[in-house]
Amino acid sequence: MQKRTQAREASLRNVISRFQQSSAALPDAVIIIDRNNNLEWWNLAAERLLGLRHASDRGKPLLNLVRDPVFVDYYRKGRYQEPLELPSPLGGDTRLQYQISLFGADDRLLVARDITRLTQLEQTRQNFVANASHELRTPLTVIRGYLETFLDQDLPKPLMRGLSQMQQQARRMENLVQDLLLLSRLEATSRQAATLKPVLIQSLISHIHEDAVTLSGERQHQFELQIDPQHDLLGVPAELQSALSNLVFNAVRYTPDEGHILIRWWADAKGGHFSVTDSGIGIEARHIPHLTERFYRVDDSRSSASGGTGLGLAIVKHVLMRLGARLEIDSKPGRGSCFSCHFPAELVVPPRD
């Protein structure tokens, strides 16, 4: 029995040793946090990336060592579906991506990954897109100005038809540039805490509805509004205007003439909710996970005819991410679509007097 016990202990020591060697070889920081939020174990990368020390930090509360207010808020809320990106607590240009997983009896596994190189590459891409879009604005403005001047003249019909198409494409390019600049700004500020203000959601939706009626024009869509007057929303007004209007205008573009469009705003114990339901052509299930990707199109010819830029839902996604909200899409071909925004309960506020 003693020999079997000794053999079993030797085997367990070998397993522990192998685990320690393999964890030490990981480039990512791995930290085990107990149910009392105290540091229980970590690998060598955690010492390099977060500055932890075995001699002095074991058993200490994690939030005493990683004190960034954004991380503290992320840790305490317990919504770990999305990772968190922050500068390293050791300073410098290093950026870390934190991902927390729950296991056992309220224990947590924290993984911190160095994403400095990826962040630099993403920043380069964003700068290129923003600069290129900015430089395109001036020539497009000049082209549109001359086209409008020519179209005011009495010119032959073939020439007028060509100039009208050129003007239409110039407008489309201007819309694309504006969306690219907005998306670049949202991406650049996504890592910063948003300055939230009370938004008069009823007034905002009313203005969007008026613009949607204008966009509908002679197509005579039937609009229905169901707005809860007892709740408003904290957010960035201009960004919310862009996100919600994109959803409503998409419904107008892809709903047949005289179709029905329902716009709702309501709140409950789970938070605030905004939805746009249409009786349009619908979307196949295989396309839905990709709709928020830049320039993703379900049907190129249909999207081009509608005048969309392919960036609207990407903008919606980034606006909602900044607020900790999420976009839900429910659609079936031939049965229409429902796009819903779900906002955290802490953003729902009573209306101001």
pLDDT in tens, 251-307: 998 888 889 999 999 999 889 999 999 988 888 888 888 888 887 777 655 555 555
Measure the CA dihedral 69/71/76/79, to 10°: 130
Read off the pLDDT band of 119 (50, 70, 90).
confident
Looking at the DSSP bridge assignments, the partners of residue 275 are: 264, 340
* 38: amino acid identity, one letter: N
> How many Å apart are CA 219 and CA 305, to the nearest integer?
15
- Percent of the chain at pLDDT > 70 equals 93
- Percent of the chain at pLDDT > 90 equals 19
Give me 260's structure tokens.
Answer: 């029905």
Is beta strand 107-114 parallel, antiparallel or unpaired with respect to 197-199? unpaired
pLDDT value for 280: 84
Determine the average pLDDT of the residues in 191-197.
Answer: 68
Q: What b/e string do you get for 76-87 counting C-beta neighbours within 10 Å, with b at 16 or more?
A: eeeebeeebbbb
Looking at the DSSP bridge assignments, the partners of residue 268 are: 271
Is beta strand 107-114 parallel, antiparallel or unpaired with respect to 29-33? antiparallel
Read off the pLDDT band of 244 (50, 70, 90).
very high
Give me 167's structure tokens.
Answer: 């003007």
Average pLDDT for the chain: 85
Q: Name the more confident of 129 and 60.
A: 60
Q: Which of 19-23, 97-101, 170-174, 340-344 has the lowest mean pLDDT?
A: 19-23
pLDDT value for 98: 92
Q: Name the more confident of 234 and 78.
A: 234
Largest interatomic CA distance in the chain? 107
Give me 8's structure tokens.
Answer: 């079993």
DSSP single-letter state for residue 352: P
Instruction: Report which listed range, 19-23, 68-72, 155-159, 202-206, is most confident.
Output: 202-206
Determine the average pLDDT of the residues in 171-186.
Answer: 82
pLDDT value for 334: 83
Residues 347 and 196: beta-carbon distance below 8 Å? yes
**DSSP labels for 141-186?**
HHHHHHHHHHHTS---HHHHHHHHHHHHHHHHHHHHHHHHHHHHHH
Give every strand in the sheet of 232-235, ordered side by side.
Answer: 197-199, 232-235, 348-349
> How many Å apart are CA 194 and CA 255, to the nearest integer?
34
